A = this chain, B = another copy of it.
Amino acid sequence: MDAVNPARPGGRREALVKAAAEMFFEQGYAATSIDAIIARAGGSKRNIYNEFGNKEGLFASIVSENAERILSALRIDEIEGRDLRETLMVFGTRLMDGYMSPALIGAYRTVVTEADRFPGLVRSFYEQGPGRATARLAEVLEEARDRGEIQTDDCARVAGHFVGMVRDNLHLQVVLGLRPPPSEDETKVAVASAVQVFLRGVRADPAG
């Protein structure tokens, strides 16, 4: 019953999800037609309606099934470095790369546009991605504070500051299509600058 069609190694559902994800996140929900998805994925519309009910169901499925993959760029659980500066450099670089990846830029545009239509999806999207990354950084900062390296009242808040500094106006410009994602060198310079300001801003020393 559940055996995969021998002539189709991947299975219809996977092909549909893959094609739909690409097209939704590239062109947006409204601009992507069912016909176009079928044209790319192969098969027939019956497949979509049997499997997902309707277009909204397809969209909900592809977001939840692709969120993990797309947001894995922001899934920064193990951040280690010789010291806090290196840790922040690594974290900031991964954060920048994740936010600037075409996949996440496309997903961001789409999710912003359809926020009203799919409130539940938007919440899980935020919590799995930006929220989780910020929370993880806050934990790292807690540890640094316990070690006496930094000084702050609210680690979660300053974690947000750091994330904001890294995202900067760069993310806005890329989302608006005003400039391409930064190169590796540009990323390094931008992150290093953010780390420098941040570290001086929060480090523990007796300067009132």
Which residues in chain A, 78-114, are within 8 Å of chain B measured between CB atoms? 109, 111-113
A207 at the interface (CB under 8 A from B): yes
Choice from B115, B160, B176 contacting A169 with Cβ under 8 Å: B160
Choice from B111, B113, B134, B168 contacting A28 with Cβ under 8 Å: B113
B168 engages A160 (CB within 8 Å): yes
A54 at the interface (CB under 8 A from B): no
B197 engages A112 (CB within 8 Å): no
A interface residue count range (under 10 / 10 to 19 / 20 to 34 / 35 or more) = 35 or more
In the complex, how many angstroms separate the beta carbon of A55 from the nearest chain B beta carbon? Answer: 14
Find chain B residues with CB under 8 A from A166 CB: 164
**Are A168 and B164 CB-contacts (below 8 A) given A157-B193, A197-B198, A200-B202?**
yes
Find chain B residues with CB under 8 A from A163 CB: 168-169
A69 at the interface (CB under 8 A from B): no
A28 to B158, CA, bound (A): 33
Known: A134-B169, A164-B167. 17 other contacts (CB 8 A): A112-B112, A115-B176, A115-B177, A123-B176, A123-B178, A125-B176, A126-B176, A130-B169, A158-B197, A160-B169, A164-B169, A167-B167, A197-B198, A197-B201, A200-B201, A200-B202, A205-B207
